[in-house]
Amino acid sequence: MTHESTAVGLASAYSNATTASGDWWRDAVIYQVYVRSFADSDGDGIGDLRGVRSRLPHLARLGVDAVWLTPFYVSPQADGGYDVADYRAVDPLFGDLADADELVRAAHELGLRVIVDVVPNHTSEQHPWFRAALAGEPGARERYLFRRGRGADGSLPPNDWESIFGGPAWTRAADGDWYLHLFAPEQPDLDWTHPEVTAEFDSVLRFWLDLGVDGFRIDVAHGMVKADGLPDIGRGAQATLIGTEPLPFFDQDGVHEIHRAWRRLLDSYEGRRIGVAEAWAPSSERLALYVRPDELHQAFNFRFLTCPWDPEAMRTVIDESLSATTAVGAPTTWVLSNHDVVRHVTRYGGGAQGLARARAAALLMLALPGSAYLYQGEELGLPEVTDLPPESRQDPAFRRGRRPQIPLGAPTPGIIAPRDGEPPARAQAEPDTEPAPQAQGRTGPQAQACCGPQTDGAGPEPQLAPQAPATAQPQAEAGPAPQAQGRTGAEAQACCRPQAGGAGPAPQAQGNIGPEARGCCGPQADAGAGAAPDLLTAPEAEGQDGLRDGCRVPIPWDGPEPPYGFGPAGSWLPQPPAWAGLSVAAQTGDPHSTLELYRAALELRRAMPGLGAPGAGPSPDPCGMRWLPSPDGVLLFTRPGFACTLNTRPDPVELPAPGRPVLSSAPVETDGRTVRLPPDSCTWWAF
C-alpha cells in the first residue's frame, strides 16, 4: 500500500531530556525572520517589527522554538542593516523600541524565544565613533583599523587584503590614512584590542538582554581579531579561501577570549540566554572551538548547507560535524537556506526535482541530532526569484560588480575616496552598461542569487501515513523554468562568493558544490602576485555577484495576486505571479503541501523521544545515531525508536522496511515487509 502525509494528532509536549533540563537550544528549531521581507504593517512596502508580531501565530503553529530576527537597528541600510549606526535604537523603517519590546513579549506569550543579531566586527560609517574618527577627534581612530599606506607617498593600500564584496579591503580617507573594511566601505572594521570597543559591546548586549531577548546571533564571529601586523596573503580571489584555508583576517585564536567573556555575561542572566556564532573555519575541528563549554552555545554548520545532493558527501559532512561538536560537548546545527544564499529548491535543480529534493533534505535535516535553522519561506517551498529586473535589485554589491577597472588615484581633499572601484566623487566615472537599481525608501539589503532554473511551485505531493491501502498519486509537473536574469543554462546555476551579514558564503548549484566549494561566478582574477598595484581589480572577479535579492523577495501570505498579504501596499522587491499557490493560506490544510509537511515534521520531532537532541534516549552512540547498511544512493540511520531513509537516486529503490512509516516527503509503497522508496525522497519510520 502507499503511504502519504496526512494530518494526524500527535503529542505536542516535549519529551526530549534536554528540554526538561533547560538546555532548550540543544535541539531547538529556530526560524530566521528577514525583517524587511516578512510582513509590512504600515504600507511602505518594507517589513517591520509590528508586521513580524502580527504573524507570530504562524510560527507558533508551525512548531518552531525560537525566532531569529535580522538587524532592525538604526542604519543607513548600505548593507541591509548590517551597517549599524546605533546599536540601542530601532530604525524608524522598522518601528521603534516599544515595538521591539512588544514583539519580544508577544513571542514569549506564544512560547517562542527571540534571538537578535549583533554586528560586532564593524559599524556603519555613520556611527558616531567613525564620524569622530574622520573628523580627527583625538583617539577616535584607535577604535578602528586605520593605517598609513604603502609607497613613498602612502598611496597604496597597507596590505593586499580584499573585501568580501570585491575590490581592496581598504579605503583612503581625505588626510591620506587608510581604514580597513572586510566588507563594504560603509562598514569600517573595529579594533577589538581597544578596551572601549569591548566595554561598548558588553553594554549593548546587556541592553537587549535587559529588554528580554533570549540570545544573539553573532555576525562574523570569526572576524573580530586580525593577525598581528596585518600580513599580506600573497594571492587574490581571497573570498574563495574562506572556510578552506587559514586567513590572517578570519578565525584568529584571539576571538575566543571575546566569546568566553560573552558567555560569562550570558550566563549571568536567568533563562538560558544563548550565543550563536556565524563563523567560518577551515575545518570542523576549528569550528568546534567556538562551542567549547566556556564559549558560545551554537555555531552555524555551513558545510551541510554547501553539501551536494550526494549521499556519500552528506554522510561525510554529518559524521565529521557530529564528531567535532560531540568532542566538545556541544550540539551540531543544521541549515539549508538563509538570507545570503540561493534557496535550496533552486539550488537542488529547480522545478519538480528541486522541490522534491528540498522537501527530502528538510526531513533529513530535522531527523539529525542537534538544532535546526529554517529560513522564512522554506516551509512554503519557495524557489529563488532569478528574474528580478536590474532596477529592482538593491544588493550593495550589484552595482560594484559592474564597474570597470579604475586607476587608484590620490584622494581629492575633503572626500573619502575611492570606494571599491568607484572613482573619487569629483572624478568622471565611466557610464554603466546597465541601469542603476533605484532605491525604494532606505534600502540596500544584500542579495546573492546564483541562479539556476526556478520552479513555479509545482512538484511532488507527498507525506504522512494513512493505514488504508492507496495507489500512488502522479507527481505534478513543473512548468518551464524561467531563465536567470543575466545568466542562463548551466552558467545560471553557478554560485557566488561569501558575504557579510549573513550566514556565510553561498553554495554553488546542485551538482557543482562540495564542502570545499565556496562559490564563485566566473573566472577568478588573481589580485595578488602579478596584479598591477595601481589598479582596483574588477570586483566581479574577486567578490560576490550582488544577486542575493532573489532569496529576499517578501513571502506570500494569502490572496491571488501580489503582494499576497505581505502588507497594505506593494513590496520592496516584486513577487512572482506564480506565488499565489504557494502562500500560507493556499497551503494550509492541504495534506500534500510543503507547509503541512513541515508542520507534521516539527510536531513529530516534538513527540518522538528519539528525535532532537544529541544523546536523547538509550544508545551506545553519544549522538544517539547509528548508520545501517543500505543500497547505493540511499542513506539509512537509526535513533532510539526511529529510522530515517533518504533516497538520492532518480529512480525508486526497494529495501526491507525499517519500521512503520510515519512521515514521507513523497508517497511510499510498502507491504509492511519491504518498501519501495520514491526517487529524491526522505521517509521517517517508527519501530
Local structure of residue 92 (DSSP, 8 states): T
Would residue 659 be called left, alpha or beta, if left means φ above 0 and alpha means ψ between -120 and 50 degrees?
left
Over 592-641, what HEC string results?
Answer: CCHHHHHHHHHHHHHHCCCCCCCCCCCCCCCCCCEECCCCCCEEEEEECC
Kindly list the catalytic residues: 219, 278
**Spatial CB neighbours of 433, under 8 Å, sequence gap ≥ 6:** 402
Share of the chain residues as helix, strand and coil, in percent rounded to the nearest 5: 25, 15, 60
DSSP 542-600: TS--S-GGGG-SPPP-SSSSTTTTS-SS--SSPPPGGGGGGSHHHHTT-TTSHHHHHHH
Strands (E), 7-152: 29-33, 66-69, 73-74, 86-90, 113-118, 146-147
Local structure of residue 493 (DSSP, 8 states): T
In what helix (H) or strand (E) does residue 685 lie, and over which residues does it extend? strand 681-686
Q: Give the span between the Cα atoms of 590 and 52, in whole angstroms.
A: 24
Q: Which three cell numbers stand for residue 353?
A: 526535482
- CB-neighbour burial class of residue 244 (10 A; exposed 0-12, middle 13-18, buried 19+): middle
For residues 477-495, b (16+ Cβ closer than 10 Å) or e, as one string? ebeebbbbbbbeeeebbbb
In what helix (H) or strand (E) does residue 202 lie, and over which residues does it extend? helix 195-211
Q: Which three cell numbers stand for residue 358?
A: 528540498
Q: Give the span between the Cα atoms of 175 and 473, in whole angstroms.
A: 71
Residue pair 71/502 in contact (Cβ under 8 Å)? The answer is no
Residue pair 94/84 in contact (Cβ under 8 Å)? The answer is no
Half-sphere exposure of 262 (CA within 13 A, CB side): 31
Residue pair 457/586 in contact (Cβ under 8 Å)? The answer is no
- CB-neighbour burial class of residue 449 (10 A; exposed 0-12, middle 13-18, buried 19+): buried
Strands 668-670 and 2-3: what pairing? antiparallel
Q: What angle do CA 506, 509, 510 make, to 5 degrees?
A: 125
DSSP 335-372: ES--TTS--HHHHTTSHHHHHHHHHHHHHHHHHSSSEE
User: What 3-state class would DSSP assign to 232?
Assistant: coil
Residue pair 475/357 in contact (Cβ under 8 Å)? The answer is no
- CB-neighbour burial class of residue 1 (10 A; exposed 0-12, middle 13-18, buried 19+): middle
Half-sphere exposure of 568 (CA within 13 A, CB side): 6
Residue pair 69/35 in contact (Cβ under 8 Å)? The answer is yes
Q: Give the span between the Cα atoms of 217 and 474, in whole angstroms.
A: 42
